Amino acid sequence: MRKRRFALSDGKGFTLVELLVVMVIIGLLATLVAPGIIKRLGQSQQKAARAQIASIEQALDKFRLDTGRYPSTEEGLNALLTNPGIDAWDGPYVKASILKDPWGRPYYYQFPGSHGELDIYSYGRDGVPGGEKEDKDVTNWEE
């Protein structure tokens, strides 16, 4: 029986042209896939903001059950974290991180609300009222 020996360096390998072709293919795939991923990221931030607003509403309901009222606009959402001077306060009702939207800005709160009993909203990615897609405002009175 004859054994074959494989040399560690037999002169074979990838040529520069082959490496460049692979890099071009990877680049083309990235340009095709990246827009879809970026679109999904914007949608997921909108969904996260909606979920956070729902959690804040639940925390406000707990605050109301304990204290008999919602925090005033002046007390704001920080009343869910620190006692604004109410004896029946039994918080904190939320984690501090939930009071910032996915873009790092605090949620706006108004009681009494203009659109319902209370208003909670974020101005979206761009941080200004209005907008479309990822820049659209996220509110507790619209879906």
The reported pLDDT for the residue numbered 13 is 79
Cis peptide before 35 (omega within 30 of 0): no
Q: What is the mean pLDDT of the chain?
A: 88
pLDDT in tens, 26-44: 988 888 877 777 666 667 8
**3-class DSSP state for residue 118?**
coil
Instruction: Please tell me the CATH superfamily of domain 20-139, with its number.
Output: Glycoprotein, Type 4 Pilin (3.30.700.10)
Dihedrals phi, psi of 62, to nearest 5 degrees: -65, -45
Sheet containing 138-139: which strands, arranged edge to edge? Answer: 108-110, 119-122, 138-139
CA dihedral angle for residue 75, residue 76, residue 82, residue 87, rounded to 10 degrees: 50
The reported pLDDT for the residue numbered 91 is 85
The DSSP secondary-structure symbol of 106 reads: B
